Amino acid sequence: IVVKTRKVNPLFREKIIIAGPKKLISYGVIVPESIEDLKRLFDENSNKKSSEADIKIIYKGKEIWYNIALYNVYDEKNILTDTIGVVDDVTEIKHREKEIKRKLEIYDKLVENAILYAKVDLEEGILLEVNGKEESISFSNFIEINILKKVKSEHLPFLLEKFSIKNLIENFNTGKEFLEIEFIIENKGIYKWVSCVIYRLSLENNNRVLFVINDIDQKKHKELELKRRAEQDGLTGLYNAETSKAKITEAIMKNNLSDEKQIFILFDLDNYKLINDTFGHFYGDSVLIDVSNILKSKLRSNDIVGRLGGDEFVILLTNVNSDFDVEKLAERLMENLRKSLEKTYVQDGKKVKISGSIGFAIAPDDGVTFETLYKKADKALYQVKKNGKNNFIRYRD
C-alpha cells in the first residue's frame, strides 16, 4: 500500500506498507470486531470491482471510525492494473448514528407502556402528535385537561411552574436530556402516582420533546414503603436516630428565618432498667412500644418524634406560633406527657412503676442546630434526674 495523505493517520501511518492488512492489524489500534471487517474488505477486493468497510480504531484513548473504499482499475483488455483506496474519517457520522439509535431505543422504551404520550413543539406551544396520531391542540390545553384538572388544588402552583413552557425550555437549554416529574392524580375518586417524563427528541433542536405519562403507583408505594422502613426504628415504628436528627435539622433550618418557635424535647424513662431486670428484655421492649404509642397519640402529625436508642426519645414540636406563651405551652405538654408515661406494670405479682424525665430547649432562643439543642435539653434532663426524676425542666443558662 502506497499512502498519499497530507495528515498523519494513525492507521495508515507509513508511506509504504508491505503486506497491507497484516501490517495494519499489527499496529494494534483496530478494535477486535473490526479486524474481520478489514480482512473481508481486502478479500472481496480480489474478486470485485469495489469493496467497502467501516473500521473502528482506538488511538490515544480516542475512538475513531474510518470508511475505507477500495476501487479496482482495469485497462481496455479488462486486466487489473491498480487498486485505489479512499479513506474518510466518519467518526462524527458514526457518533451521530449511534446517538440517533440510542434516542430511538429510549423513545420506544418510554412509550411502551405509557398511559399517554405526545410530541410537543415547545417553541410553538403546540402538540404535533398524541399517542402516535397527528394533533394540533395547544400545549397549555393539553396540560390543563390531562394533568391540572386531575390533581389536588394545593399541588397546582408547583405543577404550573414545572410544566410552564418557560421552565421546560430553560432546563433543556442547559443541556438536559430528561426531565421527570412525579405527582398524584385523581380519577373517579381513586388517587394514584404517575410519572411524567419529558424527553428531548432532537439532537439539534431543544424545543422538540416527547411528553410521556406512566402509571408508577405500585412502584412508588414500594419505594415509599422501603423509605419508611429505612427511616423507622425497628422496634417502636418511630423515626430512628439518624432520621430524627436529619428531619429535626431540616425543620429547624426551614423555620430559622420565621417568627415561629420549635420546642426540642429530650426524655428517657425512669426505672426502665428495673423493668428489664424484673420482667426481662422482651417485656421491656413491649414497654417501649407502649411509650411510643402514647407519644404518637399526644402529638400532632407534623411534629417529629423519634427514638435515639435504648429508652431515650426525642421530640420536636414544630411551627409553634410565637404569639403564644411558648414556655407555658411546653409546660402543659410536659405535664400531659409526664402523667401519661407514669404507669405501673405488673406481671406474676411483681410491680414496677415507671415515669418520664424530660428536659427541653426552645429554638431559636436556645440554639439553631440539633447538636446545640440536644446538649442543652440533655443538661435540663440531667437536672430532672438529679432532683428526683419524674419531672420536666427547661434549659437555663
Decide: 180 and 196 in contact? Cβ < 8 Å: yes
Sign of CA dihedral 378, 382, 385, 391: negative
What is the rounded radius of gyration, in angstroms, for the C-alpha atoms of the chain? 36
Average pLDDT over residues 271-297: 90
Query: Given 221, 255, 271, which residue is the final one in a domain?
Result: 221
What CATH number has the domain bearing residue 152? 3.30.450
Distance CA 176, CA 179 (A): 7
Whether residues 239 and 375 fall in one domain: yes
Provide the number of structural domains found in the chain: 3
C-alpha dihedral (246, 247, 251, 254), degrees to nearest 10: 60
Query: Given 221, 253, 277, which residue is the final one in a domain?
Result: 221
Distance CA 40, CA 51 (A): 9
- Highest-confidence range of 159-163, 325-329, 339-343, by mean pLDDT? 159-163
Whether residues 238 and 198 fall in one domain: no
Q: Note whether residue 204 is domain-resident.
A: yes
Q: Is the pLDDT of residue 109 over 70?
A: yes
Which amino acid makes up residue 158?
F
Q: DSSP for 184-238?
A: EEEETTEEEEEEEEEEE--SS-TTEEEEEEEE-HHHHHHHHHHHHHHHB-TTTSS
Whether residues 102 and 117 fall in one domain: yes
Average pLDDT over residues 163-169: 93
Q: Note whether residue 342 is domain-resident.
A: yes
Q: Is the pLDDT of residue 257 over 70?
A: no
- Reported as type and span, the H/E element at residue 342 is none
Q: Note whether residue 8 is domain-resident.
A: no
pLDDT in tens, 360-393: 999 988 999 999 999 999 999 999 999 998 888 9
The grid cell for 302 is: 407534623
Q: Note whether residue 13 is domain-resident.
A: no
Please give the backbone phi and psi of residue 76, each rounded to the nearest 5 degrees, phi first.
-65, -20
Distance CA 383, CA 395 (A): 9
Whether residues 239 and 280 fall in one domain: yes
Q: Which pLDDT belongs to residue 296?
A: 86
- Give CA separation, 203 vs 56, 100, 120, 131, in Å: 23, 8, 15, 22
**Pairing between β-strand 392-394 and β-strand 350-363 as defined by DSSP bridges:** parallel
First-to-last alpha carbon distance for the chain, in angstroms, is 91
Whether residues 349 and 269 fall in one domain: yes
Q: Note whether residue 145 is domain-resident.
A: yes
Burial label, 72 (beta-carbon count in 10 A; 0-12, 13-18, 19+): middle
Distance CA 329, CA 322 (A): 11
Q: Note whether residue 362 is domain-resident.
A: yes
Sign of CA dihedral 293, 294, 295, 297: positive
Distance CA 125, CA 165 (A): 7
Distance CA 185, CA 191 (A): 6
Decide: 238 and 313 in contact? Cβ < 8 Å: yes
Distance CA 333, CA 262 (A): 13
Which amino acid makes up residue 219?
K
Distance CA 129, CA 119 (A): 5
Supply the range of the domain harboring residue 317.
Answer: 232-394
Whether residues 261 and 376 fall in one domain: yes
Whether residues 208 and 284 fall in one domain: no
Decide: 217 and 193 in contact? Cβ < 8 Å: yes
- Reported as type and span, the H/E element at residue 374 is helix 370-386
pLDDT in tens, 42-88: 888 888 889 999 999 999 999 999 999 999 999 888 888 888 999 99
Average pLDDT over residues 123-129: 92
- Give CA separation, 8 vs 12, 57, 88, 326, 351, in Å: 8, 15, 13, 79, 93
Whether residues 236 and 371 fall in one domain: yes
Distance CA 98, CA 375 (A): 59
Whether residues 265 and 319 fall in one domain: yes
Q: Is the pLDDT of residue 323 over 60?
A: no
Decide: 52 and 35 in contact? Cβ < 8 Å: no
Distance CA 3, CA 377 (A): 83
Whether residues 102 and 78 fall in one domain: no
Distance CA 341, CA 357 (A): 10
Whether residues 82 and 107 fall in one domain: no
Q: Note whether residue 182 is domain-resident.
A: yes
Q: Note whether residue 79 is domain-resident.
A: yes
- Reported as type and span, the H/E element at residue 79 is none
Distance CA 228, CA 239 (A): 9
What CATH number has the domain bearing residue 33? 3.30.450.20
Neighbour tally for 18: CB within 10 Å:
8
* Mean pLDDT computed over every residue of the chain: 89
Decide: 54 and 72 in contact? Cβ < 8 Å: no
What CATH number has the domain bearing residue 239? 3.30.70.270
Whether residues 383 and 252 fall in one domain: yes
Q: Which pLDDT belongs to residue 379?
A: 96
Q: Is the pLDDT of residue 311 over 80?
A: yes
Distance CA 187, CA 336 (A): 43
